[in-house]
């Protein structure tokens, strides 16, 4: 067995979801909405399956989805994307990330991650033959410092991965932080993989700024989106990547040997989703922000110190506020005893990072208000 995978435990998300099921707990661990996205999209998908074709879609993606992704980039960010050469559809953002690492990294190349980071990055990079270097974001502000990034870059560095809005921190990178990444990428001739799956979940009226929109970044960065997040359809497994033609081709060459294509009827439905009017996107972010506020209030009332959250589905708490200091044990404890599941932030660090903080846990708020209220009430009773 390959130790990149075999030496690691099972992913924290299915692990905590299984424990939540066994314990009959409210699952605020794994991030997925408890209500499916727009009915219109589901109806288009159902009709597309019945009407067909249900055969292989084109390797780069259904032309109508590629065109919709390109239009979406213009509509929201003013980016000019060629739908024929600068878009690749993938089986979720997860596969987009794997295809990028396999397509870009050669054995011994280094990839810089900002820690904590979304769980799949490190094993995917290592399985592709790459080595992972870290820049620790320092709590509670989790700010990126230019000197820390510079110190992580060597002659072997091939790429940097950024994630904004950030899972698990709910942090949105400021323009200053994006400039730090852009400046380093330009000076060291690096590729930047931008995981922007929560692009439409930035709260409090703040904009989402794609790194790609900064000067000189279009030719060296790719931007990854996910229909799972944007339309609350995580089970569709449709992701999309935009970037310069050479990087899209490099990614496609890995994708064609990974999943080859993604389900055509679902791509058709997602293309229609991307054409939805501003109302949809405004309601989506407004509703999610209200859920954030509801859970934040509930967690505070239960005695938790809740960290700021500017975007995503996730709130982070400092568990020292309830007298705990081991996040993995804390998440098991509350799943079994309070009947509410969360995930430990230490799961978003590399196994070699022995100094990773152990005092934070992540709660997911993309759930119905009554579920968030019940979860808060359970935690308040328990602590």
Nearest approach in angstroms of CB 19 to ligand PMP is 19
Tokens of 289: 């922000």
Which residue has tokens 């400092």? Answer: 318
Among the listed residues 92, 244, 273, 344, the single contact to ligand PMP using CB under 6 A: 92
Span from 91-99, 153-161, 345-353, 358-366 in contact with ligand PMP (CB under 6 A): 91-99
Among the listed residues 104, 118, 363, 365, the single contact to ligand PMP using CB under 6 A: 118
Residue 13 is a binding residue for ligand GLN (CB under 6 A)? yes
Residue 163 is a binding residue for ligand GLN (CB under 6 A)? no
Q: How far is CA 354 from the centre of its chain?
A: 24
DSSP state, residue 111:
E
Q: CB neighbours of 134 closer than 8 A, spacing ≥ 6?
A: 112, 113, 114, 115, 152, 350, 353
Task: Compare residues 31 and 37 and give the one whose CB is closer to ligand PMP.
Answer: 31
| 30 contact choice in ligand GLN, ligand PMP, none (CB below 5 to 8 Å, kind-dependent) | ligand GLN
Residue 164 is a binding residue for ligand PMP (CB under 6 A)? no
| 92 contact choice in ligand PMP, ligand GLN, none (CB below 5 to 8 Å, kind-dependent) | ligand PMP
| 316 contact choice in ligand PMP, ligand GLN, none (CB below 5 to 8 Å, kind-dependent) | none
Nearest approach in angstroms of CB 118 to ligand PMP is 4
DSSP state, residue 242:
E
Nearest approach in angstroms of CB 248 to ligand PMP is 18
**Number of residues counted as binding ligand GLN (CB under 6 A):** 4
| 13 contact choice in ligand GLN, ligand PMP, none (CB below 5 to 8 Å, kind-dependent) | ligand GLN
DSSP state, residue 108:
T
Residue 210 is a binding residue for ligand PMP (CB under 6 A)? no
CA separation, residue 340 to residues 13, 172, 371, 382 (Å): 14, 27, 10, 10
Pairing of strands 191-195, 221-226: parallel
CA distance 89 to 37: 20
Among the listed residues 23, 30, 73, 376, the single contact to ligand GLN using CB under 6 A: 30
Nearest approach in angstroms of CB 366 to ligand GLN is 10
Residue 263 is a binding residue for ligand PMP (CB under 6 A)? no
DSSP state, residue 175:
H
Residue 167 is a binding residue for ligand GLN (CB under 6 A)? yes
3-class SS of residue 36: coil
CA separation, residue 230 to residues 46, 209, 322 (Å): 19, 16, 34
Task: Compare residues 29 and 92 and give the one whose CB is closer to ligand PMP.
Answer: 92
Residues 85-144 binding ligand GLN (CB under 6 A) are none
Among the listed residues 61, 130, 228, 273, the single contact to ligand PMP using CB under 6 A: 228
Tokens of 128: 């592709």
Among the listed residues 94, 102, 124, 346, the single contact to ligand PMP using CB under 6 A: 94
Rounded to a whole number of angstroms, the distance between the first and last alpha carbons of the chain is 43
Nearest approach in angstroms of CB 12 to ligand GLN is 8
Tokens of 158: 């091939």
Q: Are 365 and 372 in contact (CB under 8 A)?
A: yes
What length is written for the chain?
Answer: 383
Q: CB neighbours of 95 closer than 8 A, spacing ≥ 6?
A: 237, 239, 255, 258, 259
Contact set with ligand PMP (CB under 6 A): 31, 92-94, 118, 163, 167, 195, 197, 226, 228, 234, 239
């Amino acid at each position: 067995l390959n130790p990149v995978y075999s030496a690691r435990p099972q992913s924290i998300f299915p692990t905590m979801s299984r424990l939540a099921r066994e314990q009959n707990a409210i699952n605020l661990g794994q991030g997925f909405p408890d209500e499916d996205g727009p009915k219109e999209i589901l109806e288009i998908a159902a009709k597309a399956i019945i009407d067909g074709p249900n055969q292989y879609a084109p390797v780069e993606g259904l032309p109508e989805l590629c065109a919709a992704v390109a239009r979406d980039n213009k509509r929201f960010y003013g980016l000019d994307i060629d739908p024929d050469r600068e878009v690749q559809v993938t089986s979720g953002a997860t596969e987009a990330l794997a295809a990028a690492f396999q397509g870009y990294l050669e054995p011994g190349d280094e990839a810089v991650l900002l820690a904590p980071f979304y769980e799949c990055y490190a094993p995917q990079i290592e399985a592709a033959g790459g080595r992972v270097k870290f820049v620790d974001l320092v709590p509670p502000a989790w700010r990126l410092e230019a000197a820390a990034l510079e110190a992580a870059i060597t002659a072997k560095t091939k790429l940097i991965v950024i994630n904004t809005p950030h899972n698990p921190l709910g942090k949105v990178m400021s323009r200053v932080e994006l400039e730090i990444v852009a400046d380093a990428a330009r000076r060291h001739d690096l590729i930047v993989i931008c995981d922007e799956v929560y692009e439409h979940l930035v709260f409090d009226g703040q904009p989402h700024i794609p790194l790609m929109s900064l000067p000189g970044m279009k030719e060296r960065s790719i931007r990854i989106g996910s229909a799972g997040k944007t339309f609350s359809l995580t089970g569709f497994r449709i992701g999309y990547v935009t970037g310069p033609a050479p990087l899209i081709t490099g990614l496609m060459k890995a994708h064609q040997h990974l999943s080859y294509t993604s389900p055509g009827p679902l791509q058709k439905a997602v293309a229609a989703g991307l054409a939805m009017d501003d109302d949809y996107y405004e309601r989506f972010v407004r509703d999610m922000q209200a859920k954030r506020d509801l859970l934040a209030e509930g967690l505070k009332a239960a005695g938790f110190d809740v960290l700021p959250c500017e975007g995503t589905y996730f709130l982070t708490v400092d568990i020292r506020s309830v007298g705990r200091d081991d996040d993995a044990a804390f998440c098991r404890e509350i799943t079994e005893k309070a009947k509410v599941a969360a995930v430990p932030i230490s799961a978003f660090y590399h196994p070699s990072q022995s100094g990773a903080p152990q005092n934070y846990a992540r709660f997911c708020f993309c759930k119905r208000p009554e579920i968030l209220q019940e979860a808060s009430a359970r935690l308040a009773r328990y602590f």
